[in-house]
Structure 1
Amino acid sequence: MFNTEREAHIAQAVLDLAHRPAGFDPLELLHDVTAQAVALLPVRGASITVLDQDAVSYVTASDEVCRQLTEDQIDLDEGPCLDSARTRQPLEPTVLTERWPRFAYRAQAEGVTAVAAVSLRLPQMLLGALNLFLTRPPYLGGPDMQLAQTLADTTGTTLAHRHELADKDTVLTQLQTALDSRLVIEQAKGVLAGRLGIDMDEALARLRATARSRRQKLTDLAARIACGNVPGDLHPTR
């Protein structure tokens, strides 16, 4: 029996990340872990990065601001998400101006003043990181960081079970589909934003909700929309 409503939400989040239908979309799982992090932790947003040798790739983010801030770090070749992935170490909440002045300038324009990260890993191998964007102190404490790591660990275990693979290179090859799919999803978001007169965050929310209600893969629906075929149930209710 749960002592608090939050404990019940945490248990449900872990259960949702752990139990997926056969052949589930890995990108949808990674979207979900960023959403759960935002729902359960005092953070502005979250993103996922994947490390392949020394190259860091953006995969997904909880919202448009965090997506842009993650891509900014890759463009600048500077930032906490890159450092955490490259050193293969989690990052305790760190004020941006202390180590990443160029990135800090961009982040502060969006109200982000610090970043933390926990490892996204499969059994015996590191895959990347779950990055957490913070706006003001007090920043995440020990229990919050442990919860973030639990969400990331559950996600990694689910990915490992899906692929039934033992080495990181093969996992990354399998996840390349997810990396490619993000471009289709960005295109679909742009189509929805233009057609429906909504912002990109709302476009993603509608895209995900529709895919779930139809029990359809997010990437399949996004590919359809990117080609200009927008389902009627994505239009505003009149």
Structure 2
Amino acid sequence: MSERNAMAVATGELSNAFERRTSLCHPFLAVLPIDGAAISMLGAPFGIETVCATNPQAARVDELQIDLGEGPSWDAFSRRAPVFASDLTQPGRSAWPMLLAALSADAVGALYAFPLAVGSLEIGAVELYAESPGELTSAQVNDAIALADLAAVQLLKRAMASHELDAQFVPGEKEYSRRVEHQATGMVLAQLNVTAADAHIIIRAHAFAHGRSVRETANAIVERRLDLSSPNTEF
């Protein structure tokens, strides 16, 4: 299978992962020169945990980062930018001494991490490892970013599936509030280039993350006091 065909298949798998209950991690293996992948959520309100891993080594790398509080996943998450450690065999060149010490006997030659975020919502990171040192090409980095963006939306859907958010309508304002929520969904759809269903999930997730009602959040979007395409935004 060609690289472009592999990317098309991986994109299709990730785009429907929530509905089909399929892996968020395995599509990365089909596209990138890696030996394993893991995805974790790394902060409130979604918690801190490894969500999936393609093999025990990927799970170990991810869990070590969570336990130690350091590593490329944490850096990618905090910076909202990819982080690359293309050659872990080079001594004294890492910002993660405890992680590298813990991995010293493991077959891990390179680590790459990409943030998982949807607009202003920071969710976690995807960590990729290769047994041998090596750099990703610019095309591979772009593919990884595209897959991470898809994975972030699917992870957000999974995280929100366990939370039933009440729109907290004011008595007598239900019809108006629903109309505003639909307007806000349309605006977020345009801002983030997502489907209407995904835009609605993102609005509800933002409300949950910031302790607001869906109605309050929708009003802020429609009144342009809140732009969900901007990082670290609040109203």
TM above 0.5, yes or no, is: yes
Q: Matched residue of 1:121: which SS?
A: strand
Q: Answer yes or no: is the 8 Å Cα contact 1:107–1:113 preserved in 2.
A: no
What is aligned with 1:120?
116
- Stretches of structure 2 lacking an aligned partner (at least 5 in a row): 158-196, 212-235
CA root-mean-square deviation: 2.9
CA distance in 2, matches of 1:145, 1:7: 14
The 5 A counterparts of 1:82-121 are: 82-96=74-88, 98-121=94-117
Provide closer, same or farther for how the CA distance between residues 33 and 171 of structure 1 changes in structure 2, counting only shifts above 3 A. farther
Tell me the SS of whatever aligns to 2:75.
Answer: helix
Opposite residue 13 of structure 1, the aligned amino acid is A
Deviation at 1:117, TM superposition (A): 1.1
Q: 1:164 and 2:164 equivalent?
A: no
Q: 1:1-238 to 2 correspondence within 5 Å?
A: 5-19=2-16, 24=19, 28-29=21-22, 32-53=23-44, 56-96=48-88, 98-158=94-154, 159=156, 161=197, 164-166=201-203, 167-168=205-206, 170=208
> Partners in 1 of 2:15 and 2:80 — Cα distance?
24
CA distance in 2, matches of 1:50, 1:17: 17
User: How far does residue 137 in structure 1 lie from its aligned partner after superposition?
Assistant: 3.0
State which drifts further: 89-98 or 68-77: 89-98
1:94 deviates by 4.6
Give how far 1:53 is off. 4.1
In structure 1, runs of 5+ residues without a counterpart are 174-238
Distance 2:210 2:149 in 1: 17
Distance 1:134 1:81 in 2: 15
Aligned residues: 164
**C-alpha separation between the residues in 1 aligned to 2:67 and 2:126?**
19
1:12 to partner: Cα distance: 1.6
Bigger radius of gyration: 2
Whether contact under 8 Å (2:34, 2:130) holds in the other structure is: yes
Deviation at 1:149, TM superposition (A): 0.8
State the percentage of identical aligned residues. Answer: 26
Matched to 1:52, the amino acid is G
Q: Give, in whole Å, the separation in 1 of the partners of 2:124 and 2:132.
A: 25
Tell me the amino acid that sits aligned with residue 9 of structure 2: Q
Structure with the bigger percentage of helix: 1
In the TM superposition, what is the alpha-carbon distance from 1:150 to its structure 2 partner? 0.8
